[in-house]
């Protein structure tokens, strides 16, 4: 007789079945209408925390991107200049001619003579340094012999004689550099009438003059380190060990420095391993195109504006003159930006590629500068390196306070600017020099703005730079020198400035 299952065994299968049923059967889902009725569309919290506007100075989030505003400003700049171009063509017609300037034959002759003569002074510096190197070799040999003999009196006498010789060599280097710049300035001021051609000749002369000075200063210190037995004074950069003094005194080494895109002499530079000819081609096309843009902008737009401002300038009609300055600032800014890109990005990179020159930091992001000091140390790195290495640092090393050394360096830069502008235009007005001097108080005024943590201070500093330098500084200087040119030479019987076919209409 079969036994009946117990209660436990009897209920287990039913419980397992019930459990299986619970896990496999889904709960009924609410319909779409039921889901819609459970949402409170008009009651969820929009304002749930403290937040700031993204353009406010007290915003704690990352600053927003201004790429849209940048695109808008670029579009406005293009459209406004197209309108000016249409207005200019309707009023003046085509002023650009392919015949070039009214340049006298004598201008071309003197320009060619000066262009060929100027680099000769660099090779004169090489000859002076070659003689100094031979003397340095003899002094090192004498020093070794005297030390072996322990002749202290002879060693001291040799040091005095070497000191006098170094003074003579320094005088020769200084005379050579000064004579070169004096001859170039005289030829440009008195013999080359056309200001455009004169400006190019003067710029070439100043560049070579800076190279001559750097070559002399650097080799002097390397020569002293070669002769000097004090390791602390004889320490030189590790890079120079591959070409120590006097092995660097060769025509090949000098010729490389002559064409290298730098104003600071080194016996060795960082270099690349090959020439990228596609890179060279792109930079050449950029330079050629931008040169045409600058030529057309000056011929078609800048010159008529300058000529139309002469009457307002002579009669001191300030309101009209301000309107001319603001109108000229647009063309001036276009020419300046195109010139910057053509020189520092296109030409210098092209030259660096051909010369295997590795260090190509010719500029940094000067357009973001919030103070004038940063701008003047970042937009033209070749000149900045020269000023820091050969003017500022030596003065600070000799005990001159850094603030005074900076002031002297800036005044020297102002003299160079006047030399590059006043001499080619045959009017030493001092506008370029005092324009640089005026930057000094602006530098101290904008220095605190760059140290401010808020974006407002940095924005004010950046706008101060753009307004003082681009929208007022350059146009005012252009009008002043153009007015001085016209007052001195006129336009009746002499070549117009600076291009043919741009007279009044």
d(CA 387, CA 210): 10
Neighbours of 438 (CB within 10 A): 12
b/e sequence 135-163, b meaning 16+ C-beta within 10 Å: bbeebeeebeebeeeeeeeebeebeeebe
What tokens were used for 53?
A: 């506007």
Please tell me the total number of residues recorded for the chain in this structure. Answer: 505
* CB environment 259-288: b (16+ within 10 A), e (fewer): ebbbbbbbbebeeeeeeeeeeeeebeebbe
Out of 204, 224, 385, 417, pick the active-site residue. 417
CB 303 within 8 A of CB 445: no
Nearest partner of 375 among 261, 464, 472, 451, judged by Cα? 464
C-alpha to C-alpha distances, 227 to 169, 218, 267, nearest whole angstrom: 15, 14, 17
Enumerate long-range contacts of 339-346, CB under 8 Å, 24 or more apart: 339/290, 339/294, 340/379, 341/286, 341/290, 342/286, 342/287, 342/290, 342/291, 342/294, 344/380, 345/283, 345/286, 346/283, 346/284, 346/286, 346/287, 346/290
| CA pair distance 349, 352, nearest whole angstrom | 5
CA separation for the pair 237, 267 (Å, rounded):
11
CA 55 to chain centre: 31
The helix or strand, by DSSP H or E, that contains position 164, with its residue range, turns out to be: helix 152-190
How big, in percent rounded to 5, are the helix, strand and coil portions of the chain?
70, 0, 30
Residue 415 CB contacts under 8 Å (≥ 6 apart), including other chains? 433
Could you give the CA distance from residue 200 to residue 1 in angstroms, rounded to a whole number?
128
Pair 422, 480: CB distance under 8 Å: no
Please, what is the Cα angle at 193 between 191 and 199, to 5 degrees? 95
Burial of 214 (0-12, 13-18, 19+ CB in 10 A): buried
The token pair at 481 is: 């020198």
Structure tokens at 34: 């039921």
Active-site residue flag, 426: no
State the burial class of residue 213 (Cβ atoms within 10 Å of its Cβ: 0-12, 13-18, 19+): buried
Give the catalytic positions in this structure: 417
């Amino acid at each position: 007789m079969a036994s009946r299952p117990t209660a436990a065994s009897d209920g287990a299968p039913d419980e397992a079945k019930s459990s299986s049923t619970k896990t496999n059967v889904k709960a009924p889902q609410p319909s779409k209408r039921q889901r819609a009725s459970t949402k409170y569309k008009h009651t969820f919290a929009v304002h749930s925390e403290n937040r700031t506007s993204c353009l406010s100075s007290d915003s704690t989030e990352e600053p927003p991107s201004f790429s849209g505003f940048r695109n808008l400003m670029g579009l406005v700049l293009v459209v406004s200049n197209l309108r000016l171009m249409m207005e200019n063509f309707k009023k003046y017609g085509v002023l650009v001619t392919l015949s070039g300037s009214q340049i006298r034959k004598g201008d071309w002759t003197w320009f060619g003579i000066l262009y060929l003569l100027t680099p000769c002074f660099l090779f004169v510096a090489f000859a002076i340094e070659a003689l100094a190197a031979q003397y340095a070799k003899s002094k090192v040999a004498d020093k070794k012999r005297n030390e072996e003999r322990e002749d202290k009196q002879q060693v001291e006498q040799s040091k005095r004689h070497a000191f006098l010789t170094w003074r003579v060599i320094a005088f020769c280097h200084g005379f050579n550099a000064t004579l070169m710049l004096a001859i170039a300035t005289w030829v440009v001021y008195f013999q080359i009438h056309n200001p455009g051609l004169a400006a190019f000749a003067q710029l070439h002369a100043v560049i070579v003059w800076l190279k001559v000075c750097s070559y002399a200063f650097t080799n002097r210190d390397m020569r002293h380190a070669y002769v000097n037995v004090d390791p602390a004074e004889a320490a030189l950069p590790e890079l120079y060990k591959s070409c120590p003094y006097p092995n660097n005194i060769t025509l090949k080494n000098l010729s490389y420095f002559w064409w290298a895109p730098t104003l600071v002499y080194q016996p060795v530079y960082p270099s690349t391993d090959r020439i990228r000819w596609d890179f060279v081609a792109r930079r050449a096309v950029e330079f050629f195109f931008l040169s045409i843009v600058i030529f057309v902008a000056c011929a078609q737009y800048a010159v008529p504006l300058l000529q139309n401002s002469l009457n307002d300038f002579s009669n001191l009609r300030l309101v009209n003159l301000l309107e001319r300055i603001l109108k000229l600032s647009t063309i001036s800014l276009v020419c300046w930006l195109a010139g910057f890109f053509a020189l520092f990005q296109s030409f210098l990179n092209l030259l660096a590629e051909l010369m295997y020159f590795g260090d190509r930091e010719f500029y940094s992001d000067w357009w973001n500068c919030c103070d004038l000091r940063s701008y003047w140390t970042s937009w033209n790195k070749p000149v900045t390196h020269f000023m820091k290495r050969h003017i500022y640092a030596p003065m600070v090393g000799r005990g001159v306070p850094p603030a005074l050394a900076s002031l002297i360096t800036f005044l020297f830069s102002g003299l160079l600017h006047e030399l590059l502008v006043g001499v080619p235009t045959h009017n030493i007005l001092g506008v370029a020099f005092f324009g640089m001097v005026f930057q000094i108080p602006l530098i101290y005024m904008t220095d605190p703005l760059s140290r401010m943590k808020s974006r407002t201070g940095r924005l004010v500093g950046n706008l101060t730079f753009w307004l003082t330098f681009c929208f007022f500084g350059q146009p005012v200087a252009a009008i002043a020198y153009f007015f001085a040119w016209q007052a001195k030479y006129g336009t009746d019987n002499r070549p117009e400035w600076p291009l043919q076919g741009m007279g009044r209409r």
